[in-house]
A and B are shown apart, each in its own frame.
Chain A
Amino acid sequence: MSAAHDTGGAPAAATQNACKACMPLGACMAYRGVEGAVPFLHGPQGCATYMRRFLIGHFREPVDIACSSFSEETAIFGGAADIHTGLANVTRAYHPAMIGIATTCLAETIGDDMTMMLHQHAEKTEEGNAPLVVAAATPSYSGTHADGFHAAVCALVNALAESGACGEAADVVCFTNLVSPADLRYLKDILADFGLSYVLLPDYSETLDRPTAGEYEKIPKGGVPIDAIRGAGSARASITFGAAFRPGQHPGTALLDKCGVPARSMGLPVGIRASDLFLRHLEELSGRATPEKHTAERGRLIDTYVDAHKYLYGRRAVVYGEEDLVVGIASFLDEIGVVPVVCASGGRSGGMAQALSGTTAMQRGGIQVLEDSDFVDIGEAAEAAKADLLIGNSRGVGLARRLDIPLVRVGMPVHDRIGAQRIQHLGYRGTQSLCDRIVNALIARDQERSEPGYMTM
């Protein structure tokens, strides 16, 4: 335990400067990746406002999140009337194909029965007018935004996926975890290059990184079509990125249980080894060899590792954020000789520590893993470990300043730079971009401190 949390051996009572957001935020983000969907919070309006502000600030895109606008009376008597009115108003204003409901801690605390309320709502609604409604239980006190994201993805699978003849609708379902729109676009290119038909769940590659063309659409174009989610149930296989899932929230397992789709699982494909593994899955599923352009990209990445090794080897990095992102980046750092001295997350699924224990980085030792941690814990560990840089979201800015080391921004939120939606993390190309950014951050810092102010490479 950190010094600031030194409460005589007892666990700290307060979380100081949290390294996690709340569950419904992740759920709203996942729903944003379904075509024609509007996210809807069952709870008070403040939640929707806070989460919209967070997501809009990160993606620099409009993000509408509707809500049932709980009043004091609702909090006492239950939210059935508000959810009915709310759904009806969203239906009228947006004509959505789907409304994705995420519950707030208030709704869960008063014990609103969502199944019953939705049943009543359906009875009161004219048939043919009603959009599909999918709901996930996402009380803030039960997990982080990543857990909420997975809960919503599982809710979509459980509500929609339909069994069918194997490979009928798609070859492969990819459960991509919390990654950037640019990551998703790149994944789609890779899958297409292998000739695979695919379902990306969710797919906010267009909805959260929209072109400006003068026309404002209430519901952005793009997203995985609802029929494609239905078809996911007959895919030949699923690939799930990540390991930090709470019980019952592994989307690949959910799809296997519901429709019998064989589930493959791996960490986020960051770094050469993990990207190789991903492409091997695709080779097996497609029966095709990796296309030349990807082999070339891999070669260029190795070339970068070589060019950069003298700036990187032995440097010490603190990695924090969503559990699976931390595991992916730590594994990549080991490839370039950077020691991930502190691997930290506000999440506590147990998956991060377990996944890290299987990495070569951990086997080499000298790594502190902090689950359920906050920025005070991270700061103290970073200081003790004499870290050279931070890799994580913008909430580490204060820490970077205090320690006077660079921050390489990944994950979310990235509120203080343009282009969060285009930060790449995955595959050879994403790793390339990460590697360039990390090495340049270190070079820039050395350069700032060098007497002549310039350096030749």
Chain B
Amino acid sequence: MPETDTDNLLNRVEPAPDPETAKESLLKSYPIKVARKRTKHMVVNNPAAAPVIQANARTIPGIITQRGCSYAGCKGVVLGPTRDIVNITHGPIGCGYYSWLTRRNQTRTESDQDHNYIPYCFSTDMQEQEIVFGGEKKLEAAIQEAYDLFHPKAIAVFATCPVGLIGDDIHQVSKRMREKLGINVFAFSCEGYRGVSQSAGHHIANNQLFKHVIGRGTTPVEGKFRINLLGEYNIGGDAFVLEDLFERCGITLVSTFSGNSTVDGFERAHMADLNCVMCHRSINYVADMIEKKYGIPWFKVNFIGANSSAKSLRRIAQYFENEELTARTEQVIAEETAKAAAVQGRIRPRCEGKTAMLFVGGSRAHHYQDLFKEIGMKTVAAGYEFAHRDDYEGRRVLPDIKVDADSRNIEELSVEPDAELYNPRKSADDIAAYKAREFHFNDYDGMMPEMEEGTLSIDDISHHETERLIEMYRPAVFCAGIKEKYAVQKMGVPCKQLHSYDYGGPYAGFQGAMNFYEDIDRMVNARAWAFIDPPWKKRTSPQLTAHYGDQ
């Protein structure tokens, strides 16, 4: 058996290949037609002259993708983390079963009396007879049953693929039951074939929340500095960390869309004075609609990474222009930054100079780059699974994005200022004054301008491209999801799941950052990798192999 030196073979720092050559190599084995399509989804970054990237295009049949469907985005991602809505999947059993307890959404009820339906999975479990004769009756009975069992505040209905085809009118059934039961019952036409990815499902979910839930609340929200956090889903307990941070600063969190959330929070979202957007992709349009209807301004925040967290907290304090808030916020930042710096100091020497790749989500591939930077690791390639061009290149490209057939079948709501509730929190003059101080609202610069020159951005990366990329760059860690994890690890490269956090986390805020440093150290410096001979080692010359052995 070959000898294995577990101390010295660990994740050597590799010289990066030439990015243009790398890109060519990724495309090489595709037939011309596919290569022509894919080349537009891969760019070599250049912050000085931002390139154009193609995104949110349909996956080609037979190409194995990371993406999910609009049902997954709607029921799984957006509505999944809300604890007191009973979610009923209308369809055959698979979709409900696969989306049951799989996204690690956590929640904390405030008392024993509070409802929490997250551990439940309701499905109408349609059988052949319902496919043939229609499933509306069964759906109606299921809604009644859920009501009788739990008397929930709200019930949501989610359509799966066959429902759209057989013509069940889930909205009509929901309306009927809403009137009958006197609680909010609403439905989502999130059939899996709609849209190009789960992103369509986020949009369908958010539109319905905007139409049926937001703005219904009448009980006033106490607190001087009231905000909503949009696009934070409480994976691994992220929202708990942020809730704690806000509380310490004296900021009142009215609602989170939708980590650790409640119907009540959603209904009163219009009472906040600021919307902070975490995941731009999944929810930016809601921020826009709320601003139009209720006059609440929004800006982008990022609570992934210690520096980003500090920056985001400061922005919130600056927005409210209050001395006491600013002082408290600065104190929290000072305390937390010191703690984070201590952990950074310990971990950084063990990770410095190593490289990372991130192919995940609609914002995570961007946000997590900050965390890697904090322990001295460079992101050499990154891309989203389901984001759009503006998430790559920034909102300045919004007017140039072509509306295709897939986007057209997602409803665009036309929003007007609410006759009673519209109340602009900042006047046009205020906004202009902020702008003059380089404080921007309604803005997001996207991922690409923040990536170093010569790095790669690749949208909707395929299985094949992943393998080639790893072989060429030999990163110290690859971030993706469970579908990629074991394929990547078979090549001797650790794969960090950024959907489930590998059952670690939380990773948000300062505490989260410290957890992340530790977890990444544990991964890239684990002894196990030394026992694997990746392809590139096998292909090196005999002398070089001997050299590795001697190291």
Q: Is B184 an interface residue (CB 8 A)?
A: no
Chain B count of residues within 8 A CB distance of the other chain: 85
Q: How many A-B residue pairs have CB under 8 A?
A: 235
Q: Is B97 an interface residue (CB 8 A)?
A: yes
Interface centre among B72, B94, B191, B534 (most CB of A within 10 A): B94
B130 nearest CB across to chain A (Å): 7
B378-408 residues with Cβ-Cβ distance < 8 A to A are 405-406
> Which residue from B72, B193, B487 sits with its C-beta under 8 Å from A62?
B487
Residues of chain A lying within 8 A (CB to CB) of residue B193:
44, 70-72, 74-75, 106
A40-87 residues with Cβ-Cβ distance < 8 A to B are 40, 43-54, 56-57, 60-62, 64-75, 82-83, 85-87
A214 and B161 contact, CB distance less than 8 A: no
Once bound together, how far apart are the Cα atoms of A283 and B394, in whole Å? 72
Which of these binds chain B: A17-25, A324-332, A380-388?
A17-25
Given contacts A4-B149, A140-B94, contact A210 B34 (CB under 8 A): no
B94 and A105 contact, CB distance less than 8 A: yes
> Which residue from B58, B91, B409, B532 sits with its C-beta under 8 Å from A213?
B532
A17 and B192 contact, CB distance less than 8 A: no
Q: Is B538 an interface residue (CB 8 A)?
A: yes
A212 and B94 contact, CB distance less than 8 A: no
Q: Is B512 an interface residue (CB 8 A)?
A: no
Give the residue name and chain of the A residue nearest to B68 (CB): A49
Which of these binds chain A: B119-127, B333-341, B353-361?
B119-127
Residues of chain A lying within 8 A (CB to CB) of residue B34:
89
Residues of chain A lying within 8 A (CB to CB) of residue B161:
43-44, 70, 75, 104-106, 109
Residues of chain B lying within 8 A (CB to CB) of residue A123:
none
Once bound together, how far apart are the Cα atoms of A61 and B145, in whole Å? 39
A394 nearest CB across to chain B (Å): 9
A16 and B121 contact, CB distance less than 8 A: yes
A189 nearest CB across to chain B (Å): 24
A18 and B123 contact, CB distance less than 8 A: yes
Residues of chain B lying within 8 A (CB to CB) of residue A61:
486
A72 and B409 contact, CB distance less than 8 A: yes
B528 nearest CB across to chain A (Å): 9
B62 and A49 contact, CB distance less than 8 A: no
Given contacts A72-B193, A141-B92, contact A87 B62 (CB under 8 A): yes
Once bound together, how far apart are the Cα atoms of A120 and B161, in whole Å? 26
Q: Supply 27 A–B pairs (Cβ within 8 Å), ascending by A.
A: A7-B145, A10-B141, A13-B144, A14-B122, A14-B146, A18-B125, A22-B93, A45-B59, A46-B71, A50-B94, A53-B481, A60-B486, A62-B490, A66-B63, A67-B62, A70-B161, A85-B62, A93-B29, A104-B161, A106-B161, A106-B162, A110-B165, A139-B92, A140-B92, A214-B491, A215-B490, A216-B491
Interface residues of B (CB under 8 A from A): 29, 31, 34, 58-72, 88, 91-102, 119-128, 130-131, 138-139, 141-142, 144-146, 148-149, 160-162, 164-166, 191-194, 198, 405-406, 409, 463-464, 467, 481-483, 485-487, 489-492, 532-535, 537-538
Q: Which 5 residue pairs across A and B have the least CB separation, nearest first?
A: A46-B69, A89-B62, A22-B94, A13-B141, A140-B92
Beyond A50-B98, A212-B490, 6 extra complex contacts between A and B, CB < 8 Å: A7-B141, A25-B94, A66-B64, A72-B406, A105-B160, A110-B165
